[in-house]
Chains A and B, each alone.
Chain A
Amino acid sequence: MQPELIDIVFRSQKRRDLLLLLGEEPRTMEDIKILLDVSPTAILPQIKRLTDSNLVIQKNGSYELTDMGEQVFKKVRSLVDVLTLVEKNDYWTEHDLGGIPQYLLDRIGDLKDCNLVKADPSQIFEPSTDLLKFFSSSLYLMVFSSFYRPEFLPLYSKLGRLESEVSLIFTESVLEKFLYNYERKIRKLSTMKNTELSVCKDGAKIAELIVSDRGMMVSLFDSQGRFYHEYMCCSESQAISWVRELFDFYKSRALKVEGEKSIDNFTCTSENGAFSESLLLSLH
């Protein structure tokens, strides 16, 4: 009688780590020793448990997963990613996830490597120089923002001139305010070949998203709609693709601001403060 897989996989952290490690690619004993920081005498009995359970097989001097091991690995990976995400910090569970579509919530474990960045209280209303610096040499940049952050304008223009692809989505009030204060710059941006500007309705449940080849950042509101000047960020490729997909989700629901004419629509309404509803597609 074989022991149950749940015990094989979860009763020992060493075995779990081993399974997750071999799920990436086959590894030699040398690799395992270094990557898991273990001695052969400590890990060999665990490898034996996994091979006895037909999850791992030794082939050409290295260890790899069997077909069954591969299936077990996939299920363990997706659960462990979510557990890691929620045990690392409470950011995701204490903020409003309502702005994230279900198919991306299902893969929220992809964000497990994100770290929380808290604002320095003395600089809470200062331009976020860390973010600016981080994204300054991006090959492409996508920004969704419910905030008016004029300090980012030079970055957009600079990347635009450097022929990086820049795609921006602002909520209507943010765009309005930008146009009020920086009309020429925004007009210029919207006519550049490699930049795109879109607008979505106010009330988006995402505070801010920035993603580039360098990394990603996400910030959300709490369930009361409050914003705490904190954000989650990392440079892992899984997280980058996740945020790009979320950005694409919002882009597909936003109205593209193209050419002078459509900008005029937004500038003239900004004076009397009201938007014609028909201009905007509904977000949901």
Chain B
Amino acid sequence: MSMELQLIDTIFFSDKRKNLLLFLKNGPKTIEEIKTELEVSSSPIMAQIRILIKDGLLVQKDDSYELSVKGKLIVPKMEPLLSTFRIFDENHDYWARQDLRTLPPHLLDRIGELGKCMELVPDRTHIFDYPPEIMDPLYRSKTVMEVSSFFRPGYPGLYLDLANKGIEVSLVLERPIYRKLVTDYRQEVEEFINMGNTQIFICDNKIELASSLVTDRFISISMISKDGRYYNHEMVSFEKSALEWGKELFNYYRDLSEQITQI
């Protein structure tokens, strides 16, 4: 039914070749640049370069190597594939367990941009708090954006505290969570809303994620599993592409919400 596809071996089943192709995506490179970037010596990499040239993926121009037309069609498709595979490989059971459809489809398609993630699970005494590993970077952030469909007891105090330290804090909350906050912590919410560096948005759509916290330093998301259950955890990434991804996630929900300027 399908073709054999000789090139799969060439592009995937040698790390040297794979990394070289991805490196050359940024433009032509000399052999010296290649050796430095990939930390390889001449003869092993030359053997791989010859294979790539023979398969028509690379061409030599003067003293540098660059992707051929064929290479330029193929390599851009390798990157999203490899980054998606990598994120799933690194936390296979986690992603297999979660309901991925709780993410907006256009961001799910780019889930590889989360890059290297680690799952943090709080110990029992701090089961409702953010894990200590992210409290420090949280306080060192300049902006903090959170989307949340559930209520953490720490919310009013934590966010007020962050805002008081001059950090810009924006929150998108589902309406029931907002109501609960107002009922239980009216004074804090009022104080928070009246500050110049804070924003609260109320979302009437279902926020299907448990929560997503994104700052200029890290992203931390928490998801519901396929059987609809939730356990307290944070999936954290510090990579630049992940912060951009997280900002888009926040904006997605913010655009569905209305801003509250008074209680």
Contact = CB atoms under 8 A, between A and B. Distances in A.
Contacts of B93: 2
Given A5-B85, A17-B2, A37-B1, A87 B7 contact: yes
A5 B88 contact: yes
B245 to A, nearest CB: 14
Given A10-B8, A10-B12, A79-B74, A97 B1 contact: no
Nearest to B100: A67
Nearest to B111: A71
B1 A92 contact: no
Interface string B83-119: 0110011001101100111000000110100000000
A54 interface: yes
Task: Count chain B CB atoms within 10 A of each CB in A5, A9, A88 and give the residue with the most.
Answer: A5
Nearest to A69: B96
Contact of B99 (A36, A67, A76): A67
A105 interface: yes
A86 B96 contact: no
B77 to A, nearest CB: 4
Contact of B1 (A5, A35, A108): A35
Interface in A2-59: 2, 4-6, 9-10, 13, 16-17, 20-21, 35-37, 53-54
B81 A54 contact: no
Contacts of A72: 84-85, 88
B73 interface: yes
Contact of A105 (B2, B6, B73, B88): B73
Contact of B3 (A6, A21, A87, A105): A87
A163 interface: no
B232 interface: no
A93 B89 contact: no
A40 B108 CA distance: 34
Given A86-B70, A93-B69, A79 B77 contact: yes
B184 to A, nearest CB: 36
Contacts of B76: 106
A84 B69 contact: no
Given A17-B1, A87-B3, A6 B101 contact: no
Contacts of A20: 2
A80 B69 CA distance: 17
A281 interface: no
Residues of A in contact with B, size category? 35 or more
Residues of B in contact with A, size category? 35 or more
B78 interface: yes
Contacts of B99: 67
Interface string A253-266: 00000000000000
A86 B74 contact: yes
Interface in B6-50: 6-8, 12-13
A68 interface: yes
A63 to B, nearest CB: 16
Task: Count chain A CB atoms within 10 A of each CB in B81, B93, B109 and give the residue with the most.
Answer: B81
B5 interface: yes
A54 B91 CA distance: 12
B257 interface: no
B99 to A, nearest CB: 7
A6 B81 CA distance: 9
Given A54-B92, A67-B100, A76 B73 contact: no
A74 interface: yes
Contacts of A109: 77
Contacts of B81: 75-76, 78-79
B56 interface: yes
A82 B84 contact: no
Nearest to B96: A54
A93 B7 contact: no
Contact of A93 (B3, B68, B84): B68
Given A67-B100, A79-B74, A93-B68, 5 more contacts: A2-B92, A6-B85, A75-B85, A83-B7, A92-B73
30 contacts: A2-B89, A2-B92, A2-B93, A4-B85, A5-B89, A6-B85, A13-B5, A36-B1, A54-B96, A67-B100, A67-B226, A68-B95, A71-B84, A71-B88, A71-B111, A72-B84, A75-B81, A79-B74, A79-B81, A80-B2, A82-B74, A83-B5, A83-B7, A83-B8, A85-B73, A86-B74, A87-B5, A93-B73, A108-B73, A109-B77
Nearest 8 CB-CB pairs, A to B?
A: A54-B96, A67-B100, A75-B81, A79-B77, A5-B85, A2-B92, A93-B70, A93-B69
Interface of A: 2, 4-6, 9-10, 13, 16-17, 20-21, 35-37, 53-54, 66-68, 71-72, 74-76, 78-80, 82-88, 92-93, 97, 105-106, 108-109
